[in-house]
């Protein structure tokens, strides 16, 4: 018999150990503890340990980059759900979309979430770029990150374009017909680009599987890698504070 309730209770001791191994720091009581927690925690380390008070004003960045990233995460998760129902086949794709809307519980919500978040991300990325441009935040030492940002804009637009074809309705097919024919007008590389994108001469099965692979794997992966570099540079280039 022991006097303390935890002693001699192996289950409670075990649970306490698990809790302690996950929540290692507890609530920050002092600035020093808060800084140490942020430095040693994977999720918190994305945040800077110290920021200028002027730099956390919402009107400074308007949160546009953060909003874009939030929408990217939202799109990744909702897209993952959509992939459970969607088969990139010309015979089944359109029916899968209808299934999503009328057969799967919350399918309509998730599909619309994906669609509107996609529109939203294009808007926020453009606004983010405009904000950075008008504030002159592309200037040294941030010119490298500005270049990464232009590629991220391109990835965003390509993701939007490639997702356009996947419902395989009339709008999708003709929009991609028009879009890839525009690419064809480029000098020399134009016709090759169109053939490369479509995997043939018309928008068909070859185009659908290519756009699907680009949309769900290739472009998000490239985008993710660029985002990691982008955020790393944001932290390393530091904050200038208010204007």
Q: Is 177 in the site for other proteins (CB under 8 A)?
A: yes
Q: Is 204 in the site for other proteins (CB under 8 A)?
A: yes
Distance CA(91)–CA(221), nearest Å, equals 28
Site for other proteins in 24-63 (CB under 8 A): none
Q: Is 190 in the site for other proteins (CB under 8 A)?
A: no
Binding other proteins (rule: CB under 8 A), the pick from 174, 189, 217, 238 is 174
- To other proteins, the closest distance from the beta carbon of 218 in angstroms equals 12
Q: Is 146 in the site for other proteins (CB under 8 A)?
A: no
Stretch that binds other proteins, among 9-17, 56-64, 139-147, 195-203 (CB under 8 A): 195-203
Q: Is 17 in the site for other proteins (CB under 8 A)?
A: no
90/157 with CB nearer other proteins: 90
- To other proteins, the closest distance from the beta carbon of 156 in angstroms equals 23
Binding other proteins (rule: CB under 8 A), the pick from 28, 87, 202, 236 is 202
Q: List residues near other proteins by CB under 8 A.
A: 174, 177-178, 181-182, 192, 195-196, 199-202, 204-206
């Amino acid at each position: 018999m022991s006097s303390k309730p935890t002693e001699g209770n192996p289950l409670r001791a075990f649970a306490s150990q698990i809790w302690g191994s996950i929540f290692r720091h507890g609530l920050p009581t002092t600035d020093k503890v808060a800084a140490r927690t942020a430095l040693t925690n994977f999720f918190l380390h994305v945040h800077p340990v110290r920021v200028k008070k002027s730099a956390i004003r919402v009107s400074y960045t308007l949160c546009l980059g953060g909003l874009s990233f939030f929408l990217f995460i939202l799109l990744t998760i909702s897209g993952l759900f959509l992939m459970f129902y969607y088969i990139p086949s010309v015979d089944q794709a359109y029916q899968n979309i209808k299934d999503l809307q009328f057969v799967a519980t919350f399918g309509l919500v998730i599909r619309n979430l994906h669609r509107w978040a996609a529109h939203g991300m294009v808007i926020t990325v453009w606004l983010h770029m405009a904000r950075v441009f008008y504030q002159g935040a592309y200037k040294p030492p941030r010119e490298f990150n500005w270049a990464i940002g232009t590629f991220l804009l391109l990835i965003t637009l390509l993701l939007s374009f490639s997702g356009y074809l996947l419902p395989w309705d009339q709008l999708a097919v003709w929009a991609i017909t028009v879009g890839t024919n525009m690419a064809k007008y480029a000098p020399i590389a134009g016709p090759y680009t169109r053939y490369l994108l479509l995997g043939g001469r018309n928008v068909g099965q070859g185009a659908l599987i290519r756009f699907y692979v680009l949309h769900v794997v290739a472009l998000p992966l490239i985008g993710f890698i660029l985002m990691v570099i982008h955020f790393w540079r944001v932290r390393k280039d530091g904050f200038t504070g208010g204007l």
